[in-house]
A and B are shown apart, each in its own frame.
Chain A
Amino acid sequence: MAGTGHTQLRGDDVLLRVRDLVVQFPAGRKRVVHAVSEVTFDVAEGETLGIVGESGCGKSTVARAIIRLVDITAGEVRFQGQDLAGLEGEDLRRVRPSLQMIFQDPISSLNPRRRVRDVIGEGLAVWGDEIGSWSLDRIDELMEAVGVEARYGDRRPHEFSGGQCQRIGIARALALDPKVLICDEPVSALDVSIQAQILNLIQDMKRRYGLTVLFISHDLSVVKNVSDRIVVMYLGKVCEIGSTEELYSRPAHPYTRALLASIPEPAPTVDVSEGDIGDELPSATAPPSGCRFHTRCPRATDVCRDVEPVTEQIGDADHFVACHHPVAAEVAVRAP
Chain B
Amino acid sequence: MAPDQTTAAPVPLLSVRDLHVRFPTERGTVNAVNGVSFDLYEGKTLAIVGESGSGKSVTAKTLMNLLPRSALVSGDVTYAGQDVRALAAAGTKHFFGVQMTMVFQDPMTSLNPVKRVGEQIAETLRYHLGRSRSAALEEAEDLLDAVGMPEPARRVMQYPHELSGGLRQRVVIAMALACQPRLLIADEPTTAVDVTVQKHLLDLLDELRRDRGMAMILITHDLGVAHGRADDVAVMYAGRIVETADARTLFVDMRHPYTEALLRSIPRIDDPVHHRLDPIPGRPPELISPPDACAFAPRCLYAQADCLDGVPELSGLVGLHRFACLHPTGTERGVAAATANRAAGVTVAGLPLTGDPGGAG
Contacts and interface: CB of A to CB of B under 8 A. Distances in A.
Interface in B133-185: 150, 164, 166-167
A44 interface: no
A100 to B, nearest CB: 21
Contact of B358 (A147, A224, A248, A280): A147
A200 interface: yes
A266 B269 contact: yes
A55 B194 contact: yes
Interface string B98-112: 000000000000000
A228 B202 CA distance: 32
B71 to A, nearest CB: 23
A163 B283 contact: yes
Contacts of A200: 276-277, 279, 356, 358
Contacts of B270: 266, 268-269
A4 to B, nearest CB: 24
Interface in B190-229: 194-200, 202, 221-225, 227-229
B273 interface: yes
Interface string A277-289: 1111100000000
Contact of A193 (B200, B268, B279): B279
Given A149-B360, A200-B277, A248-B269, A265 B224 contact: yes
A248 B269 CA distance: 9
Contact of B196 (A54, A149, A195): A54
Interface in B244-281: 261-262, 265-271, 273-280
B231 to A, nearest CB: 14
Q: Which among A203, A258, A263, A268 has the greatest number of chain B C-beta atoms within 10 A?
A: A263
B360 A164 contact: yes
A300 interface: no
- The prevalent SS among residues of A at the interface is helix
A11 interface: no
Contacts, number: 137
Contacts of B51: 191-193
B339 interface: no
Contacts of A149: 360
Interface stretch (A78-86, A215-223, A310-318): A215-223
A191 B258 CA distance: 14
Contacts of B356: 200, 204
B192 to A, nearest CB: 10
A263 B224 contact: yes
A304 B4 CA distance: 62
Given A193-B279, A268-B269, A259 B195 contact: yes
Nearest to A248: B269
A263 B269 contact: yes
B91 interface: no
Q: Which 4 A-B pairs give the minimum distances between C-beta atoms?
A: A196-B279, A265-B228, A264-B224, A196-B277
Interface of B: 51-52, 150, 164, 166-167, 194-200, 202, 221-225, 227-229, 261-262, 265-271, 273-280, 283-284, 356, 358-361
9 contacts: A191-B284, A195-B267, A221-B267, A221-B268, A225-B274, A263-B195, A279-B197, A279-B200, A280-B167
